[in-house]
Structure 1
Amino acid sequence: MRAVLQEVLTPANFELMIANATRLAEAAWSIIRANDLPWHVTQVGARAEIMFMPKPPRNGADVIAGRRGELETLLHAFYMNEGILVTPFHTMFLMCPATSTADVDRHTEVFGRFVDLVRGAGVV
């Protein structure tokens, strides 16, 4: 615990992690808006999440009601095939000190291709 608090959870690392989460959220928003998709991105600190619903949920019931499980599963499989690991029960990214801008830019490129794929298939 001491090592984590002294060497990992530092102000400099938080600054980097939040900057990368902001970079990911802004890029994902850009793709979503450019394609006029009814999705959104939520960012809280070093965490960014893409959700397949037009507005952020207010509670768990909203999440359940707006869930697009088949689309989430497809995105997770697409990410895995591209070497990107995402939380298994939603599409949330938590930045760590080792996350680089190149990692975030790779996500942007892959997410953009995913959007092109599902739009071309008429899934969205």
Structure 2
Amino acid sequence: MIKDTLINRLHEEFGEPTRTTKKVEAWHITNHFGFVVEVDKPDHGEFANVWLPHPFDSIEMPAITLQVYPQDKGRHSNTYSTPGLQRGEVVLKLKITSQHDIENLVDYLKP
């Protein structure tokens, strides 16, 4: 399933998550940037939801289906303790549906 493939790939690239709960795995890359993968939903694993900080300036996002969550819109509660995803921050929710999406995401996240 895509969700398991994504999580395995992120472990390979970024090591063990900074924080793991029943609902998410979170990586804190810097004091201001982290990302979260939902592990509790969807149950079928055919896609994965990834939460990222909204990009700064003219940083281009990979071609992955995403939603922008404004500062005042609620989101997965286990995202708030990750750098860049705190309350009051504009964030992105990406829907990872393919191996191509996984590689695009990893390329975006790598320094």
Give the TM-score normalised by structure 1: 0.38
Q: Hey, which of these two has a bigger chunk of strand by percent?
A: 2
